[in-house]
Structure 1
Amino acid sequence: MPPTHNVERLLSLALTLTSSTRGLTREEITEFVPGYDRMNPTSVRRQFARDLARLSRLGLDVSSHPDLVNPSTLRYTASVREGRATTASFTETERLMLASAAAMWNAESTGSLGARIRAKLASYGISTAAEMARGALGSSPATTPLLEALESRQSVVFSYRSSTSQNAQRRKVEPWALDVVDGREYLYGFDLEREAPRLFRVSRIESIPLEGPEAKHPRHAHPPIRELLSESGSREDDEPQSPPIRVRIAPFKALALRTALGLSAAESVIDLPASRARGLLESAWAEPLWVSLEGESALALTWERTRARIAALHAGSPSLTWEEARSFEKIKLKRARDVGSGEGELTRLSAEIAYLHAHGEVDTATMAKEFGLTNEELEADLDVIYNAGDYSRGYDDLVDVIRDDGYVSISGAESLAHPMQLSASETSALLMGLEALSESGTSFPSEDLRGLTSKLTALLPEGTAVAEVPSDPTPTQETEALRRVLRAHARGGSVRIMYSPPTREGVSVRDIAPLEVSSRYGMLYIRAYCELSEAEREFRSDRIVESWAPGDPYAPEIGDRTTPLSFPLEEWPSVTLAIGHKARWVLEAFGAKDLRAEPDSGRIIARIAPSSPHALLAAVFETGGEVEILDPDHIREAVRGVAETKVAHLGE
C-alpha cells in the first residue's frame, strides 16, 4: 500500500519547517506545501493545527514567534527533538534485546504504534523486522489506544466482559498502568462509575477504547500489577483450584522451561502445584517433541485432548489438496504496514531518511528487510521522499534520492537526519516487551534485562508507571554458559559447547568460533565456524547446555552423541497448510505468500518454506489443531507421530 497524500503533505511540512530559520507564516506554509491548496480556508486552519500536533508526536519541537514587522502574525519553525538515547547508548546485547522486545508485539494488530516503534529503532540502526515471529503482546486491538491514553493522560470508554458476567458492560476508566503478567496484558486504573481503582484483563475488553475527557484523578502510588494479582489470591478468579501437574521433560531438552521450573539439565520429572502453572501450557507447546503434561489437572487434560485432536486431524488423507486449493480466490495477507495510520507512515519515512543519512549508499534489498517492507513498498516510499522537501525555496531544494543498480542514497533532508525520540507510549510498549521477553524463557541474562529496563525507564516522564522485569539475582548455569560464548565472540576466539539439537535425541560437544550474534523470536542465534562439522553452523542460545573456555581440563571430549528420531524431521521442503481464523499469526511468522481462501470454512490455504521442522511443529501444536498440514505426506505422518508418542520419555 503506497503512502497516502496526507503523509506526502506532512513530510514536506516537516522538511519546510525544520529548514526555515526565520520561520514561515501559516499563509506562506499552506501556499508553499502541496496538499493544502485543495482545502477551503476553514479546513486549512483546522488541518494545519492537526498537522502541527502530528509533527510534535513524531518528535519535532514546533515553535512560533511573532513577526517583527507585524506582531499579530505568527511565524512557525521546527527542530528535531533528538532522543536522549543514541546508538552509542546501547550495548550490542541491549540492541539485540530491544529488537526482541519489539518483536514480542504482534505485528499484525499493533498498527501505528508497532510501526512507529520498528521505524524509530531502525533509525538507531536496530533491525526489528527480519524474520519476526508472532508476538506475545498486542493481540488485542485495545492495547495501542490504552497505551496512548496513558501517555496523553486521557480517560477511555470501552465494553468489558468480566469473568463473572455473560454480557459486556460499558466502563469509563482513567488508565494508571498497563503491564504484562504471565503473557497476559492487564490494565489498572480508576473506574469512574465505581469511583475506585480496578484491575482489567485486556483480552476481555470487547471494543476499541475510545478517548474520553482528560483524566482528573491523580495517579496514586500503587503496587506493581503482578503484586495486585497475587494479593487477590488468584490471578484469574474464574479458574477453579486444580490438582498438581506432572511435567516430564526429556533429558537435556527444553532448557528454557527447565530453568523456569528449577530442573537441572539431566532431571526428567517435576510435580508442579497449580499455583506455579501460569504460562506452562504455552511453554510446553513450544517444545512438543520433548515435553508432556500428566495427571488429572485441567491443563494436563487439555494437553491430552489437543494432542489427540491433532493426531486425528493428520490421520488418513488430507481434507484438501493444493491442486484443489489453487482454484480458490487468491488473497493478500493484511500486514502491519497496511493498517498503520498517517503518523506511522510519516515516522517510517522520517526513519528511512535518518537511516540513509547514517549509512550512505545502501543496498535496497537490505534496507527493505530492515524496515520490514517488500522492495516494491520501499520504492514507493522513496518516490514520496523524492517528491518531498522545503517547498518554500522552490522546486530546486527538494530531496534528491539517487538510485543506481540496486543501491540507494540521499542528498538533502539533513534536518531530519537524526534518530528520533521514542514517545512515552512507545517506550512503555518496549518495556512491556522486555517483561514478556523475560517471562518467555529467553536466554538473555536477567541482570542485562533489568539494566536495559532502567535505561528505558529514564526516558519516560516522571511518574509514568512501568513494567518490571522479575528479579533473578542468582545467575543460572545456562546464563554463565551463554556468557562464555558471548565473550568468545567479543574477543574473536573459540569456545567449547555442549549443544542439544531440537529434533534429535542426545547432545553433541563442539568447538566453535562465533562469527555473528543476532536476535530472532526473542532468542539469540550464534553463527559460528564449527570444527566438528568443518563448516559454518547456527546455534540457538537456549539449546546450549554448557560451555567451557579453551583449555578447561573439565571440558568433555568433542563428539556427536545424538541419534535421529523415528520421525522424518531432518529436511522439510515447502509445506501446504490449512489455517483456521485463530491461527492467522502463522501466516506472518512463516512469511506465507501464496494464499487462497477456502469457501465457507474461513480457512486460508497457504504454502510456506518452514525455517525449521521444530518451528513448524511448535506452531501446529500451539494453535491446538487450528493448523492442518495438507502436504507432503511424510510431514503429515511426522506430525501425527509426534502427537501420538509420549516423546518426553525418549532418552530415559
Structure 2
Amino acid sequence: MASRNVERLLNVIMTIGSRPRRGIDRATLFEAIPEYAAAATQDAAEKMFERDKTAIRELGLPLRTERHDLWDENIVHYRLDTDAGGDDLHLSEGEYTVLLAASRAWDDAAAGGAARRVRSKLLSQGLDADTDLLRRTPRGSVESLPVLTPLLEAVSTGSRVSFAYRSARGERTDRTVEPWVVGVHEGHWYVLGHDLAREGTRVFKASRIESFPRIGGPISHPREEGMTLETALAGMTAHEDRARARLRIEPYKALALRDAAGASLRAREVELPAMPRSAALRQVRANARWITLVDPPAWRDALASAYAEIARLHTGQADLARIEDAPVRRPAAIRRSTSGADHLSRLVSLASYVLSRGEVEVSQLAEDFGISQKELIADLQILFVCGDFATGWEQDLIEVTWEDGFVRVRNADALRRALSLTAAEATALLAGLAALEPVAGEEAELVASARAKLLARLGTAAPGEDEAEPPTDAAASPVTDPAADGASDGAPKVELSRSEQILDALHRAIREDRPVVIRYSPPDRSGTSVRSVAPRQVESSAGRSYLRADCALAQDERLFRLDRIAEILPEGTPQHRDDGAAADADPGPGSRPGSEARGSGGRLEEDAWVRLEGPAMWIAEAFAAAELRDAPGGGTLARLATPVLGALVDAVMEAAGAAEVLAPASLRDLIVTTAEQAGARHTGVEAIG
C-alpha cells in the first residue's frame, strides 16, 4: 500500500495538470486537496505544499508559478507547462533502445532511488524500442550499491557528504568529503573529492563505504582544473619507474598482454609498451604459470622475491586456531528502501506508458517495469483512487481497468508526459553506457550518440561527466570502430585489432543467429580447445567481458571470457578438447566472480579460508566472500565459498604475499608448487637465456 504522501502528490499533479492553460489558484487547490484542507494551521498547509512542489519538480514535471491578476499579486496560479515537454533528449529509436539496455546494468533493488527512477523515466518517454536491437545489445553491469543515490545527489547539488569508510588496510574511519566525481572505473564505483580531515584530494571505493552517506552543507573546495577520476587513479603510480618489459609467454596464453604488445598468438617473445612497474608486475603475477619476465633485470629480481615469499607463506601447516579466535565482522548495515519519490515516479511513468500505447498486457507491463504482477496491480489500485479533486461535488478520478489481462488508463491526460532526468539519474545512465562500451560492437555508434546527448543534458561542465569516459586499456576493452564496416560514406576500411575482429564476428553471429567456431584458451591448463558455439549475448561485468553461448561440445550453455577467445576459425573446423580439460568456461554476469559456469568443473569442493592484508582486500570483493573476520594482530580472514581453483591460485599469486591461503591444505601445497616453479624461471641463467 502506498503512503498517503504518494497519493496526495498524485492528486496534486492531477488537479494542477488537468488545467494546462491557466492552472489553478492556490486557494482553490488548498480547498480541493483533503490533506491541505485538514491541516491544523494555514502555516502547516503552506509547508506541506512547499515540500510537494519540490517533489513534483524533482520528479521532472515542469511546474510553473504564475500571477494573472495585475491588481492582486497575492493570487497565485500553478500549472504544468505543456510546452516544456520532458523529452529534452530527442532520442532516436536506436538511442532509446541502447539507453534502455544501459538501464539494465543496475540491480535497482540494491542500488537505490537513482537506479529505480531512471528506468521508469525512460519508459515514460512514450517511445518504442527496437526489440531486435534490444535483444542483440550487449549486457553490461556495474556495481549496484545503495550508497550511490546520495553520493550522486551530493555531486549534483554541490554538497559535502559524510560516511563510515573501511580503507584498503581494513581500518574503519569516519570521513567527510566534498565530492567532485562519482564514477565507474573497470566496473567499480569510486568517489573523487576533497577529504576535509586529511586536507587533500582522495579517491574512495564506493563498495567500502559502510554507512548510508549523510548529505551536508555546500562544498568549499572546488574541483581542480583537469582533475578527473582517471587522472587521479593514474596519479597513484606516477612516481614509479616505467619501462618496456620483455616477456616469454606460452603460446595462446595472456592474450590481453599479447594484444597490448601487438604480438601474434604463438609468439614466445613479447615486448610490452612502457608502463609503471607495479602494473606490469601485477599482470605478470596474475599469469604466473605462463609468463617469464626477461627484462628489466631489477623487475625480474622483484618477481623472484615475491614468488619466494608466496612459497614461504604457504609452506607447512597453517595455524587454523586463529580462525576460531577471530571475531566475525558484521556486514555493514546500509538501508535499502524504496522512497516515496521512487514510487511516485513509477506510478506517473506507468500511466504515461499505457496512455501512449492505448493498452498493454499485464505481464508485459510488469516485465517492462521490472516489478511483479502483484506489485503492478497494487500500483494500478492506487491510480484508481487518484484524480482531479477540484471539479465540484465529485472527484474526477483516473479510470484504470485490467481484469481482462490488458491494462488501460483513461482520464489521466495530465500524466501523459515524459519525465525529465535529473543530473544524478543521467549520471546513472552514463555509468550504464560505460559498462556497455567495451562490448558494444556494431552498436558502438549508437552508444556514443546516446552518451553525447546525456552529456549535453548535464551541460559541458556538469559534475560527474568523467565517469563515462571509455576505459583506456584497449587490450582489455575492445571496441569496434563505428567506421569499420565500410563505407556508406566511402571512407576507407579501418584495420581492426584481433580482439575487435572477434567481437565484430560474434555480434554478426548473434544478429544472424548462426554458430561460430572459436579457439579458446582455458585459464588453468596449457593448450587450447576448439568449439562450435551458438552466441546468445555479449555481456560485461566488473570490468570483464564475456560471451554467453550454447556449446555443441559441452551440449550446454557456457560463459567464455572474451579475452581468452584466441581466434574465430573457419566453419567446419573439427572440435576438440585437450587431454585433461576440466574447465573451459568462465565465471561471468549472474554468477559469483570466483565461481564457474554450471558443470564446467575446476571448483574446490570445500570452502577456502584466506588471510588478507590491505593490498589484497580486493580478493574478498572479487570472490564475494561469504564471511569476514578480524584477524588477530591485524588483517582480515575471508571465507570463500567453493571458489574456482585456478582463479584463486592466480589471485594469490597476483597479491604478492598480501594473501595467504589457510585452508584447505591441498590448495596451500598447490600454491607452493606454482610459486616455486615461477620463481625458478626468474633466477639464474634460465631466466635470461
Fold-level similarity (TM above 0.5): yes
- How far apart, CA to CA, are the structure 2 residues paired with 1:121 and 1:616? 40
Structure 1 residue 483 displacement after superposition? 0.9
- How far apart, CA to CA, are the structure 2 residues paired with 1:621 and 1:374? 45
> What is the SS of the residue equivalent to 1:55?
helix
- How far apart, CA to CA, are the structure 2 residues paired with 1:363 and 1:514? 28
Given that 2:629 and 2:637 are in contact with CA atoms closer than 8 Å, whether structure 1 keeps it comes out as yes
Question: What is residue 77 of structure 2 aligned with on the other side?
Answer: 75
Given that 2:91 and 2:450 are in contact with CA atoms closer than 8 Å, whether structure 1 keeps it comes out as no
> What is the SS of the residue equivalent to 1:561?
coil
Question: What is residue 576 of structure 2 aligned with on the other side?
Answer: 560
> What is the SS of the residue equivalent to 1:559?
coil
Given that 1:245 and 1:300 are in contact with CA atoms closer than 8 Å, whether structure 2 keeps it comes out as no
Given the superposition, is the C-alpha separation of residues 398 and 453 from structure 1 closer, same or farther in structure 2, using an over 3 Å criterion?
A: closer
Structure 1 residue 46 displacement after superposition? 1.8
Given the superposition, is the C-alpha separation of residues 354 and 566 from structure 1 closer, same or farther in structure 2, using an over 3 Å criterion?
A: same
> What is the SS of the residue equivalent to 1:490?
helix
- How far apart, CA to CA, are the structure 1 residues paired with 2:601 and 2:536? 25
Unpaired stretches in structure 1, ≥5 consecutive residues:
321-327
User: Which amino acid is 2:344 matched to?
Assistant: L
- How far apart, CA to CA, are the structure 1 residues paired with 2:546 and 2:539? 5
Given the superposition, is the C-alpha separation of residues 354 and 537 from structure 1 closer, same or farther in structure 2, using an over 3 Å criterion?
A: farther
Question: What is residue 43 of structure 1 aligned with on the other side?
Answer: 44
Select the residue among 486, 503, 506 that pairs with 1:482: 503
User: Which amino acid is 1:81 matched to?
Assistant: G
Given the superposition, is the C-alpha separation of residues 168 and 527 from structure 1 closer, same or farther in structure 2, using an over 3 Å criterion?
A: closer
Give the superposed CA RMSD. 6.5
Given the superposition, is the C-alpha separation of residues 199 and 317 from structure 1 closer, same or farther in structure 2, using an over 3 Å criterion?
A: closer
Structure 1 residue 62 displacement after superposition? 0.7
User: Which amino acid is 1:23 matched to?
Assistant: G
> What is the SS of the residue equivalent to 2:459?
coil
- How far apart, CA to CA, are the structure 1 residues paired with 2:303 and 2:399? 59
Select the residue among 219, 223, 226 that pairs with 2:226: 223
- How far apart, CA to CA, are the structure 2 residues paired with 1:511 and 1:149? 49
Question: What is residue 346 of structure 1 aligned with on the other side?
Answer: 344
Deviation string 1:155-182 (CA, Å, 9 cap, x unpaired) is 537699999xx99999885x66555567
Given that 1:507 and 1:561 are in contact with CA atoms closer than 8 Å, whether structure 2 keeps it comes out as yes
> What is the SS of the residue equivalent to 1:560?
coil
> What is the SS of the residue equivalent to 2:235?
coil
| Structure-to-structure mapping, 1:498-509, within 5 angstroms | 498-500=519-521, 506-509=527-530
- How far apart, CA to CA, are the structure 1 residues paired with 2:436 and 2:552? 32
1:464 aligns with 2:462: yes
Given that 2:435 and 2:541 are in contact with CA atoms closer than 8 Å, whether structure 1 keeps it comes out as no
> What is the SS of the residue equivalent to 1:43?
helix
Structure 1 residue 481 displacement after superposition? 1.4
Unpaired stretches in structure 2, ≥5 consecutive residues:
475-480, 482-494, 584-598, 682-689
| Structure-to-structure mapping, 1:477-556, within 5 angstroms | 477-500=498-521, 506-514=527-535, 541-547=562-568
Given the superposition, is the C-alpha separation of residues 156 and 318 from structure 1 closer, same or farther in structure 2, using an over 3 Å criterion?
A: closer
User: Which amino acid is 1:509 matched to?
Assistant: V
> What is the SS of the residue equivalent to 1:557?
coil
User: Which amino acid is 1:427 matched to?
Assistant: A
- How far apart, CA to CA, are the structure 1 residues paired with 2:332 and 2:221? 42
Deviation string 1:614-638 (CA, Å, 9 cap, x unpaired) is 99999999999999999xx9xx789
Question: What is residue 398 of structure 2 aligned with on the other side?
Answer: 398
Rg larger in 1 or in 2? 2
- How far apart, CA to CA, are the structure 2 residues paired with 1:158 and 1:12? 36
Question: What is residue 360 of structure 2 aligned with on the other side?
Answer: 360
- Could you tell me the percent identity over the aligned residues? 26
User: Which amino acid is 2:79 matched to?
Assistant: T
- How far apart, CA to CA, are the structure 2 residues paired with 1:24 and 1:572? 67
- How far apart, CA to CA, are the structure 2 residues paired with 1:575 and 1:20? 67
Question: What is residue 153 of structure 2 aligned with on the other side?
Answer: 148
Deviation string 1:506-554 (CA, Å, 9 cap, x unpaired) is 4343445545556666666655565656776665544433225xxx6xx
Question: What is residue 235 of structure 2 aligned with on the other side?
Answer: 235
Structure 1 residue 557 displacement after superposition? 1.6
Given that 2:323 and 2:631 are in contact with CA atoms closer than 8 Å, whether structure 1 keeps it comes out as no
Structure 1 residue 58 displacement after superposition? 1.8
Given that 1:250 and 1:291 are in contact with CA atoms closer than 8 Å, whether structure 2 keeps it comes out as yes
- How far apart, CA to CA, are the structure 2 residues paired with 1:24 and 1:318? 71
- How far apart, CA to CA, are the structure 1 residues paired with 2:383 and 2:660? 44
| Structure-to-structure mapping, 1:77-156, within 5 angstroms | 77-78=79-80, 81-86=86-91, 88-90=93-95, 96=101, 99-100=104-105, 102=106, 108=110, 111-121=112-122, 135=143, 141=147, 144-145=149-150, 147-152=152-157, 154-156=158-160
Deviation string 1:548-595 (CA, Å, 9 cap, x unpaired) is 5xxx6xx67231234445789528799989999999999999999xx9
Given the superposition, is the C-alpha separation of residues 33 and 403 from structure 1 closer, same or farther in structure 2, using an over 3 Å criterion?
A: farther
- How far apart, CA to CA, are the structure 2 residues paired with 1:98 and 1:450? 15
Given the superposition, is the C-alpha separation of residues 573 and 236 from structure 1 closer, same or farther in structure 2, using an over 3 Å criterion?
A: closer
- How far apart, CA to CA, are the structure 2 residues paired with 1:640 and 1:365? 52
Deviation string 1:57-83 (CA, Å, 9 cap, x unpaired) is 221111133356976322222255124
Given the superposition, is the C-alpha separation of residues 522 and 83 from structure 1 closer, same or farther in structure 2, using an over 3 Å criterion?
A: farther
TM-score (norm 2): 0.62
> What is the SS of the residue equivalent to 2:402?
strand
Given that 2:195 and 2:202 are in contact with CA atoms closer than 8 Å, whether structure 1 keeps it comes out as no
| Structure-to-structure mapping, 1:181-192, within 5 angstroms | 185=190, 187=192
Given that 1:516 and 1:526 are in contact with CA atoms closer than 8 Å, whether structure 2 keeps it comes out as yes
- How far apart, CA to CA, are the structure 2 residues paired with 1:415 and 1:281? 61
- How far apart, CA to CA, are the structure 2 residues paired with 1:258 and 1:479? 14
Question: What is residue 64 of structure 2 aligned with on the other side?
Answer: 63
Question: What is residue 422 of structure 1 aligned with on the other side?
Answer: 421
- How far apart, CA to CA, are the structure 1 residues paired with 2:163 and 2:52? 31
Question: What is residue 454 of structure 1 aligned with on the other side?
Answer: 452
Given that 1:187 and 1:201 are in contact with CA atoms closer than 8 Å, whether structure 2 keeps it comes out as yes
> What is the SS of the residue equivalent to 1:458?
helix
Given that 1:308 and 1:643 are in contact with CA atoms closer than 8 Å, whether structure 2 keeps it comes out as no
Deviation string 1:67-113 (CA, Å, 9 cap, x unpaired) is 5697632222225512415461417667545644x57xx974x5333
Given that 1:442 and 1:542 are in contact with CA atoms closer than 8 Å, whether structure 2 keeps it comes out as no
Given that 2:258 and 2:265 are in contact with CA atoms closer than 8 Å, whether structure 1 keeps it comes out as yes
- How far apart, CA to CA, are the structure 2 residues paired with 1:40 and 1:298? 75
Structure 1 residue 364 displacement after superposition? 7.2
Structure 1 residue 477 displacement after superposition? 0.9
Question: What is residue 674 of structure 2 aligned with on the other side?
Answer: 646
Structure 1 residue 462 displacement after superposition? 4.0
Q: How many residues align?
A: 601
